[in-house]
Structures are given as structure tokens and as C-alpha cells.
Structure 1
Amino acid sequence: MLGSLRSIVQEVNAARDLPAVLDIIVRRVRDVMHTRVCSVYLRDNQSGTYVLMATRGLNPDAVGNVHLAPGEGLVGNVVTREEPINLERAEAHPAYHYFPATGEERFSAFLGTPIIHHRQVLGVLVVQQAEQRRFDEGEEAFLVTLSAQLAGVIAHAEATGALAAIGQQRREAKFTGLAASPGVAIGRAHIVVPPANLATVPYACCMDVDAELELFQQALSNAREEIREVGEQLKGDLNREERALFDAYISMLDDSSIAVEVCDRIRQQLTASRAWAEVMLEHVRRFEAMSDSYFRDRAADVRDLGARVLMHLRQQQQAERDYPENTILVGEELTAATLAQVPREKLIGLVSVKGSGNSHVAIIARAMGLPAVMGAQELPFERIDGEDLVVDGYRGELFVHPSPELRRRYDSIVEEERELAKNLDYLATLPAETADGHRVRLWVNTGLMADVVRSLERGAEGVGLYRTEVPFLLRDRFPSEEEQREIYREQLEAFAPRPVTMRTLDIGGDKALAYFPIEETNPFLGWRGIRVTLDHPEIFLGQVRAMMKASLGLDNLRIMLPMISGIGELVSARKLVERAHAELVDEGFDIAMPPLGIMIEVPSAVYQARELAEQADFISVGSNDLTQYLLAVDRSNSRVAGIYHSLHPAVLRALQEIITAGHEAGTKVGICGELAGDPGGALLLMAMGYDVLSMNATNLPRVKAALRAVTKPEADELLQRVLPMHSPQEIEHTVRDYLTEMGLKALLQPQ
């Protein structure tokens, strides 16, 4: 049945709307499984019942008129059990419920599978047979697999309002991703799509059909002319077969059947771009399905031709894009260039289907103070252009078509944030110390000059992590030593005399350079961080030379090595740094050897923390990566984001072990990661004895307010309470309750 499954999924993905999807499912499943009946029941979110929405084999008049509560009838039992029900004689089951409207008294065999998305039962897929028999394991597995495929389609339909088109009330839809930049944004989606990608053209309707038809004909004409011109220019360089390709393109554009198909869809009020994309993708799929390899290869030609015409359509349609006042930029993969196109005063948030909290767009979002969610993999972004959105950058959640109640709740959060920021402004000039005088250094994580002003305004005492990879990410080649020196000098001067900790180039994992690709099966366990730069000493030496030259006369530079997993890497790196320093001294630069520290991010370094601390000038824990590696959770994967928890008992115990080892060796230990920027987490870290907490500038006032509100013994008592606990949820609840008891509830991130 695998071939049938693939075929059905292809048809479903190509379907224009949900009614078409449901019709394909019930029609094709009945044929493939040779049953008399196939039906789909969907949840009505208003009543909580499950409604017959499509059928082949039951009375078609029953569609929309049969409602089952959870637990009612066999379908309702599939809902409550959340697993398939496979019966030889359905009418003998105690839960069997007869509905005269369906005419189902003729059917005995019953197989129903739940359609589940994010642990919610969205519907039930049912097949029935007249004779008494039990569906075999293969048939049951087929229906379960298809139900899983259908779950995503229905969730998308909720988000885009497609359920409203088949009689259900439109409601808010929730999607999860990765929390990339804190804050809340309430605004309107503005979709960014690649300029000529047929697969990402948003579903959109046009108001003026005649104008859209004219637009389409003009784009066809422009594409024909462009192809002719290119063919003429290259005529002398191509052989006969290659020249024939241009003739084939023009022939396809002259094909009246394709133009008629597109025009028919435009007359159904589709935009020219969407109509063209639908038709051309159908032709691509037909070619790809052909058995002859020659014709399968032509699918690429059809796709290329489709992209050429689409480019001309886009040029005419998007000569001037209008951005709403409260723009939330949404795209498959946002870039710094797309952000730059939006007027800053109109941009309030970002959502990206791909990417992680470490992508340079996420870093820019944090620098600009824009709430952002990355990795929202299941969001049907191409169908929500212009829709109302709520972006929760604290929890990595977004809501399409938010209900009035949800909007009011998030409006109050936005207002509370505004008031809290205003009330904490006075802390900028006060020291970060507890009520009984215990001092902690609060530093910031930076990557762009845009971070500097916000960091200093909030009272940053230094930089605990300057991400030197950001200038590398924003270029199309390696920056020269002099270019790096200029960038680093700006940072060092801006914070002088405060210390600035510059991490050497940390690429690999989810941070790839377009001009230095690293293709690996498991990049987080692969060639990244110090492993790359030790293998390329020319990159490492150039970078540390640039750092040291930038520090001339300032002497506030600290160099930090990422992804250290053992003593050998630290020894090798120190030799290179000392060599670079010696070279600069020989060249006449009067520069002191900067302190050289390491990041502890992998478990092996935790268990060698004592030896590493004896050889490093300072230690900084990268708590985000350390948590990822300890819990075996890819933090850029939204599907397992719920397992990633920085207050996991294993993480807290590792952090305690590191600080103990570091101080026993007489070495200062800091931490840079999300945990340090959380008020509750900061109290635990301060109690452990961490000397420096480095965080996003946005979180600095909250952390300082929490530290100044407690005494060191009070924080110590809290730490002793949570260390023996067994679950991160228990620890989190305990810390939240403690902050609430201390009158610090306003500092907590919304839940």
C-alpha cells in the first residue's frame, strides 16, 4: 500500500482547499482498501462534538448533520481512547450507536483511527464493510499512517480559516516553534516568499479578474521575449540540442491549454501568481510520475519555466509593497536583507518556518528588541498573509486569528512589560548586589553594534560573550584581518574600560557560512567551534591577531574558546594565541597578552573542569549548549523543544560541579546563556557562587531587580530546596512560587 499512500499524499498536498482534501481521502481510501464506506469526522471547536464532514458510502445528506460527543458511539470512543478501534461486528459493541440519517445499519466491519495533532484529537477517519470481518494489521497501519498525514492538513486548515468554508466557526490556531527573541508582538502577518519559487506562492484571491488576466498575459509576453533574447545571445555558444531547449520553452508558453487552465483559475478569483503556480506544479508532478527517465528529467525544465514567468509576475505585482503599521514578518527562511526592506517603525515581530535561536536573523531580532519565533515548521505560512497574529517570543508560540479573549490577555502582557521596563530604569546606575551586599557581575551577550547602546543604558558592567561569528555570517566571504580589527575595535571602545569577552569563531552546528559550507549528518556532534579553527590555523591566527590589535591602548580584551572538550584543545589553542601575540610584539605593537578562557558546553568538559580551570585564565559555561548535550535534545528542533529545560536536575548538578571545580582551582567562573537571564535561574546561579552572569541586555534589569531583593542566605536556602528535586517542572514551580512570595512576580516571564 506504500505506493497508494504516496499517491494519496501527493493528491492531498496538491488540493486547493479542505473540502477537496476530504473528498480525495474518502474517495481514494475507499478504493484502495476496497471497502464500502470511508468517512471523516472533524471536531467542531465551538460545541466540542465531532461532525461527519465527508463520506463515500453513507447517506451524503448526513454530512454536517451527524454530531457525536467524545465517548458517544464508536467514533466518540475512538476520540476518548485516542487509539484505533477495529471491530468484526460493530453492532454488537456496547458503544455502538445507530444514526438513521447515515444508513449505516448495513455495515458490520468497522475500523476507526484518531486524527491527532499535538496531542489533540482533531477528528476520526473511519472505514466500514458490510460483511463481518476484522481489518488486518496492514490495513490498520495504512489508515493510522494516513490519519497522521491528515492531522497536519487539518491543523493548517484551522490556521487559515478553511474550516469556516465548510461550516465550522473560524477560531484561533496555535503553532509552536523556538523562542528566539523575548517579548510579545500583536499585529498582522506580512509574508515574505522567495522571488521565484512555485511551491511557496501564497494562496490569495484577486478582486479585479480582468486586471489579473491582463497581468498574466503581459508576464507571458515578457517571459517569451526574455527567452528569445537569451537564446539569440547564446546562439553561437550552444549546440543544436541546447538551442532546442529555448524553442521548447517558447513552445510551452505558446501552449494554449496551459494558458486556458491558468485563466480559468484566475476567473475563479485566484491571483495570477497562485493560478500559474498551481497549474505548473501539476505539470511538474505529472512529468515526475512518468516511467520514462527522459520525460522525468523534463520536470526540471517545466519548473524552471514556471519560475521564469513567476518572476515576471512578481516584478509587476510587487513594484511597491505596502507594509501595515504593525507588521509581523513571516517567511520560510528570513534573512537580514528582508528585515532591512521593512520600515523600522512598522516592524514589530518575526516568525520563520526554518532557523533557530542561533541564526543571525534571531541574533538581529534580539539586538533590535523584536519578539521572534523561529523553527515554526508546521505553520502554513503561505496561506496566512494579512491575518492577525500574536507572537509569543517567551515560549516560542504564535496564534493565528487570536480570539478577543486571547488578544486581551496578551495586550495586558504588553502593557505590563512596558510598565515594568519603565519602573526598572532606575536600576541602571545601581550595583548588582544582594540586600546583604553579596556582589555579582552582570555582563551582556552581544553580536552587533545595535546591542551596545541598549546594553549600556541598562547598566551592563562588561561583555560576557561577543559572538564574533556575526560579522562572518553577514558577509559573502571571510572578512580580512583589518576588517575584523575595525569591527572588534568598535566593540572594545564602546565598552572600555569594561571587559569584553570575544569568543573565537564558532561555526558549525546550526551556524553555517554560505561560503564555507559544512555538510554533515549530525552537525551538532561534528566539526564545529574550536574543532574548525584548530584545523584552520590561518583563520584562527588572523582572528586573534585582529582582536589583539583592536585592543591596543584599551587592554579590556578577553579571548574565549568555544566547544572545548578536553585539555589538548586548550593547549593547542593557547600555543596559537601566544604565537600570534609574539608576532604582534615583534611587529612593534605594545599589547599585553589577553586572558584566555574556555567555554564549558559539553559533558566531557564538566568532568575535566578542575584540570581545565587550572590551565585557563577564566571559565564561562555555555548553558544553552550544555543543556542540549546533557539532555540529548537538539534545541533547534521545535518538535522536542518541550524536553529541553535549563532547570533540569542534571543541568543544575552539572553547574554546581563546574563552579566547585573552578573555585577550587582559584579560577573565576561565569555563565552565558538563557538561564543567566532568567531571574529565578540567576538567583540559583548566584547561590552556587558564579562570579559573572552574562545575558541578553533585555533581561538585565529583571535579573538585577531579583538579586537586589534577596539576601545571599535566602538564595542559598532556595538552592538547597531544589537541588534534591527530581523533575524540572517541580523545580520551576518552586522557583516561581518563591519569587511570587518575595513580591517579585512581575519579573517572571508570562506563562
Structure 2
Amino acid sequence: MIVLNGKGVFGGVAIGKLSLYQKQQHQIKRYHVEDADAEIARFEEAKKGTLVQLQELYNKALKEVGEANAAIFEVHQMMVEDLDYIESIINMINTQNVNAEYAVATTGDNFAEMFASMDDAYMKERSADVKDISERIISVLSNATKSTVDSDEPVIILAEDLAPSETVQLDKDKVLAFVTKFGSSNSHTAILARTMNIPALISVDVDLTEELNGRMAIADGFTGTVYLDPDEETLKKMQEKRAKDLEKKELLLQLKGKENVTLDGKSINIYANIGNVSDVANVLQNDAGGVGLFRSEFLYLETTDYPTEEEQFQSYKAVAERMAGKKVIIRTLDIGADKQVDYFNMDKEENPALGYRAIRICLDRIDIFKTQLRALYRASAYGKISIMFPMIISVEEVREIKKIVEEVKAELRDLGIPFDDCELGIMIETPAAVMVSDLLAKEVEFFSIGTNDLTQYTLAIDRQNPKLDKIYNPHHTAVLRMIKMVADNAHANGIWMGICGELGADLELTETFLAMGIDELSVSPSLILGLRKKVRETNVDAVKDALLDRLK
């Protein structure tokens, strides 16, 4: 038996044969073409075929992993039609009289290298995307067959890395687990694997050779371990672990309709994070108490122009109505940093995570902000909507926001448009907001902590940089102390406080959050029942003192 170590990005145990994922191998040769116009026409035809394929991938992803995760294929379609990218290819064919395959490959490599050298984490991710679309165009040009899993039975996929398009193309019924030699836990493929509920491991120390094909293996997504040719003892142990995991998932279904109450009678709200209207079905299916975070920026990311007030209103209204009186907390536009929107025409920044983003854009481009606020308040007449503002660093910002909110409400009153008074809250995701949370609590009705950004800013670590994964520690005492400080300041001023970042779903911290008196945890819909189970098994009084002493 050989034991290979990596990093698990989605839990679960898979037992089966390995299947080496064979990517298409394009041997690109440069050759002279006599008719450059004909070669450009050939490229344009391949571009059209690529766009058709990407639309098919989007439709497939939409059904299998939801609108938010399918959005990457809309990004790919936009990249295929990027004028700089197209002009570079056409110019190379024209000036050098080379074949389209060579022009696409060279341009793809140049653009990928350019993106990879950028400091911005979002732009670094685009490096892999531009390689993906370039390879797809070349495949269409050369009439290559698609990469597939060559097996009639479900297998553990073994690959160097998987692009989002490759992940979605695979037949879910034939995939037991993903195991890759490279990759990041924050990559689109890792996110897709989690959404598809398939065990996934990355950064596995393995030499990808043909002799691995068809060998028996076990992939443990909980520990990030692969057992190659497992012995009988290990096989038995892992079969028991898999059975317990499946049994646990079945038992969780019995928790539907149960309260989120600890053994000693303390209750907490468990809500869901969503990105689109279509996600509401998962929220209801998993019995969430409400929506703790509706990421409204996806309405902007999925279009080629600013969404109108009416378009936004219809989306917010649909969510509010479908949640049937349950609370829906909608975060205002949060773009910038790793979420760029071309039509906003924002300047390139050396450090966008610390730059022009979120509420800073809204307070600068007030027309855009007011359009969204009008849509939100109009939708409030159809359900229980709360509004949350991201990336706050000062009391002055909150007061400016409240002034604009009052202007919007006055406009709606003058027009005779009905609306309800929405609960207003802010995201606490900067150390500055933590340190003045006692003052901020006097201005709003709730706090919600974005632990992803708060951890990143507190530790001064780019959370999307795989080289820093080993020292990126969201359990850091500094982060936990900050969360407790925010909770204490919120409760001292009579407002409630929740967590909507990744840590909200971290079961190792559930007892700590309950001991702090956190009022609400908002997580991915699929994690709600597991979190409810943990809450119902906890006796807060029995562990409170010991847990909080660690933070002193």
C-alpha cells in the first residue's frame, strides 16, 4: 500500500479504481498560410463554435450546480469575445501569415503569462481561464474529441488539475472523487466539487503515470489522503468511515423542522448564503430559517451592462416572496478586488483588495447606489427584507449611507410607491470596523461578520494565494478575539450580530460562537442541517468558561 498526502477541499470517502484524466494533447505546429483572410475566417468560425460549447456548458452547470457557479462560463464567453484577445490573434495571422492554431496558442500563452504575473488574485485566476478558452478554440479548429473518462463504472478521477469546464463536462454518475496534483482550495473547480457534493483532494504528491490507471484506491476528502492499493485493514477501516458518513447524512434529514436549540436551551438562527434567485430552492429544501446573505453583486456580474432598477426589483421581489415572510438579508453591491465588472470601467489597481470596492464605489457613484436602494425598498413590500452594507470602516460612512437611504425613501413616498422600513445592518470585515464597533452599533440594527475578508486583513495574508495556505489560519486567536469584541459591543448596544463568512460553517468553532452569544450563523444551504445537529448536541453552559478563557 502507498499513502499519498494532499489537501481535502470537500469531505467524503470514495473507494474505487483510479482513472487518469487524459487532457487533449495539442501538438501545435507553425506553418505558413497563403490566404490570411481565409485563415481568419476559419478562426472566426471556430470562435462561434466555442461560444456554442460554452453556452451548453453554462446550461449544464445551471442545472447541476446552480446559477452562481455556472457564471464562470459566462465569464469565459466574454473572454472569447474580448477585443484585445481577438485582435492579437487576427493581427498575428495577418502580419505573419501563420495558421490559426499557432496564433491562438501563442496569444493564449502571452495573455496567460500576463495575468499570472499580476498581483491581483482575481486576475491571477484569469490566467487559467484564458488557457482554458484557448485550448477550447484550438480543439474546435482541429476537430479534436473531448476529454472524457474512459470507464463504464464510477471512478476516482486523477489529474494534474481540472479546469471548471472539464469538471462540469464530466458525468457525475461516473465520478467518485476528484484528486489533483495541483490546484487551490479557492479555485472555481474546488468550489464546483463542493457544490456537486463530490469528495475532492488537491495538491496530492503523486507522479501521474499511465501505470496508475485502473489501480484500486481510496480518496479520503476529510484528511486529504489517498491510499493506493490499500491493504485489507485499511480498506475495512475506510469502508466503515464511508458508511458512517453516509449514515450521518441520512440522519441529518431527520433534523428538518427541528429547532436550533442547544441542550441547555439556548437558541440561534441558522440562515443560508445565496447568490441568485434560483438558489432559494436549496434554502427551502435544507430548512433554513432565512437568507443571511444574498450576494446582490451577481446581478451585476452576469450582465454586460448595469442591471436596471426594474430588473433588480424583480429579483429581490422573487426571493422575498419565495421565502414567505422569512428574513432575507440582501448585501448591497460588493464588486472590486476579486470581482471585476468590465462595464464599470474601473482603473487597474496595484492592490485592489485594499482599493476601490464595495461601499466605496457606491458612495462615489451614488446614482448606481440609489438605483439599487430603490429596487430593494420597492421589493420590501413583498416580504421581510433587511439591507446590509459591505466594507465599512467608519461611522461617517454609515451616516452618509443613512442620509442617502432617507432620500430614496422620500422619492418613493412622493411617487406613491409602497415600501416597508427595512432593518439596516453592516458587514464587519475590516479591523477598523471591529475597533469602532461600539460606535457603529449605535448607528445600525445589526452586524454580520464577513470572516473571509476579516481574516485576510487581520493576518495580512491573501486568502487566494495557495503558497500561503499553510499559514492562513482563520482560527487565529486575533480573529476570534475580534469576533468576540464585535459580539460584546453589539449586545451592549441592543443589536443582534451574526456571521456570514466561511467560519460560520466551521463545526470546530460552533461551540465557541455559541459561548460568545452569536445570534445567527449563515452558511451554504447544504451545510445547514449539519450545523443544526452540532448546535443541538452542545451544552453551552458546560463549555462556555473554558472556551472563552482561551481567548483572554
Fold match by TM threshold 0.5: yes
Cα distance, 1:649–1:477 mapped onto 2, change above 3 Å: same
Q: Does 1:509 align with 2:509?
A: no
* 2:474–2:503 CA contact under 8 A, matched in 1: yes
Query: Aligned letter for 1:457?
Result: Q
Is the contact between residue 191 and residue 381 of structure 1 (CA under 8 Å) also seen in structure 2? no
Name the structure 2 match of 1:123: none
* Structure 2 CA distance for partners of 1:310 and 1:701, relative to 1, 3 Å: closer
1: CA distance between counterparts of 2:503 and 2:245?
Answer: 20
In structure 1, what is the Cα distance between the partners aligned to 2:91 and 2:272? 59
SS at match of 2:442: helix
Q: Is the 8 A contact 1:333 1:355 kept in 2?
A: no
Matched, 1:229 2:38: yes
CA change 1:709–1:471 in 2 (3 A) is same
CA deviations on 1:595-648 (whole Å, 9 max, x unpaired) are 110011111111100111100111111122212221222211122122222222
Q: Is the 8 A contact 1:441 1:693 kept in 2?
A: yes
**Is the 1:367–1:450 Cα contact (8 Å) retained in structure 2?**
no
Q: For 1:573 and 1:384, locate their aligned partners in 2 and report how far apart those are by CA, in whole Å.
A: 62
CA distance in 1 between partners of 2:333 and 2:513 (Å): 27
Q: Secondary structure at the match of 1:540?
A: helix
Q: Deviations over 1:703-735 (max 9, x none)?
A: 2222222333113133234324xxxxxxxxxxx
SS, match of residue 684 in structure 1: helix
Q: Does 1:664 align with 2:512?
A: no
The residue that corresponds to 2:78 in the other structure is none
Q: Which moved more, 1:384-393 or 1:709-718?
A: 384-393
Give the counterpart of 2:349 among 507, 514, 520: 520
Task: Pick closer, same or farther for the CA change 1:452–1:407 going to 2, 3 Å.
Answer: farther
Out of 378, 385, 392, the residue aligned to residue 549 of structure 1 is: 378
Equivalent pair of 1:534/1:540 in contact (CA under 8 Å): yes
Match of 1:441 in 2: 269
Q: Say if 2:20 and 2:212, in contact at 8 Å, map to a contact too.
A: yes
Partner SS, residue 256 of structure 2: helix
Q: CA deviation at 1:392?
A: 6.2
Aligned position for 2:417 = 589
State the match for 2:522 in structure 1. Answer: 694
- What is the letter of the counterpart of residue 717 of structure 1? D
Q: In the alignment, is residue 249 of structure 1 matched against residue 58 of structure 2?
A: no
Instruction: Identify the residue that residue 404 of structure 1 maps to in structure 2.
Output: 230
Q: Is the 8 A contact 2:334 2:390 kept in 1?
A: yes
- Report the Cα distance in structure 2 between the residues aligned to 1:183 and 1:377, rounded to whole angstroms: 16
Whether the aligned pair in 1 keeps the contact of 2:19 and 2:150 (CA below 8 Å) is: no
Q: 1:721 to 1:584 in 2, by over 3 A?
A: same
Q: Tell me which amino acid in the other structure corresponds to 1:431.
A: E
AA aligned to 1:526 is G
1:628 aligns with 2:456: yes
Structure 2 match to 1:720: 548
Higher relative contact order (CA 8 A, sep 6+): 2
**Kindly tell me: are residues 467 and 334 of structure 1, through their superposed partners in 2, closer, same or farther at Cα, counting changes over 3 Å?**
farther
Give the aligned partner of residue 364 of structure 2: 535
**Contiguous gaps of at least 5 residues in structure 1:** 1-45, 47-170, 194-200, 205-215, 234-241, 254-272, 286-302, 725-751
Q: Partners in 1 of 2:11 and 2:368 — Cα distance?
A: 33
In 2, Cα distance between the equivalents of 1:419 and 1:308? 41
Which structure 2 residue ranges, 5 or more long, are not aligned? 43-89, 111-130
Aligned to 2:507: 679
Partner of 1:404, secondary structure, is: coil
Q: For the residues of structure 2 that align with 1:312 and 1:381, how far apart are their CA atoms?
A: 27
* 1:403/1:383 CA distance change after superposition, 3 Å: closer
Q: 1:383 to 1:624 in 2, by over 3 A?
A: farther
Shift of the alpha carbon at 1:447?
1.7
In 2, the alpha carbon distance for the partners of 1:531 and 1:354 equals 32
User: What is the deviation of 1:464?
Assistant: 1.1
Distance of 1:667 and 1:574 partners within structure 2: 17
Match of 1:480 in 2: 308
Q: CA deviation at 1:590?
A: 0.9
Aligned Cα root-mean-square deviation (Å): 4.5
SS in structure 2 at match of 1:680? coil
> 566, 570, 574: which is aligned to 2:402?
574
Q: How does 1:450-489 map to 2 (within 5 A)?
A: 451-489=279-317
Alignment deviations for residues 193-251 of structure 1 (CA, whole Å, 9 cap, x no partner): 7xxxxxxx6499xxxxxxxxxxx9xx999x95874525799xxxxxxxx999659536x
One-letter code aligned to 2:292 = G
Distance 1:344 1:318 in 2: 16
Amino acid at match of 2:297: E
Partner Cα separation in structure 1 for residue 201 and residue 543 of structure 2: 32
- Look up the match of 1:564: 392
3-state SS of the aligned residue for 1:501? strand
1:106-158 CA distances to partner (integer Å, 9 max, x unpaired)?
Answer: xxxxxxxxxxxxxxxxxxxxxxxxxxxxxxxxxxxxxxxxxxxxxxxxxxxxx
Q: What amino acid maps onto 1:548 in structure 2?
A: Y
State the distance in 1 between where 2:306 and 2:160 align. 27
Residue pair 2:149, 2:170 contacting (<8 A) in 1 also: no
1:614 to 442, 461, 479: 442
Counterpart contact for 1:560–1:598, Cα < 8 Å: yes
Rounded to whole Å, the distance in 2 between the matches of 1:398 and 1:174 is 5
Q: In structure 1, what is the equivalent of residue 467 of structure 2? A: 639
CA apart distance, 1:660: 0.9
| Structure 1 letter corresponding to 2:526 | T
Query: Residues 98-113 of structure 1: matches in 2 within 5 Å?
Result: none
Inter-CA distance 310–535: structure 2 relative to 1 (3 Å threshold): same
- CA deviations on 1:305-356 (whole Å, 9 max, x unpaired) are x989944564243399878745759686744x66554445446666896676
Secondary structure of the equivalent of 2:382?
coil
Aligned ranges 1:148-187 → 2 under 5 Å = 173-176=4-7, 179=9, 183=12
Contact 1:377 1:638 in 2 (8 A): no
- Answer yes or no: is the 8 Å Cα contact 1:444–1:694 preserved in 2: yes
Q: Secondary structure at the match of 1:582?
A: helix
Q: Distance in 1 between matches of 2:301 and 2:159?
A: 21
Contact kept? 1:202, 1:382, Cα under 8 Å: no
- Aligned amino acid, residue 467 of structure 2: R
Cα drift, residue 501 of structure 1:
0.7
Q: Which has the larger radius of gyration?
A: 1
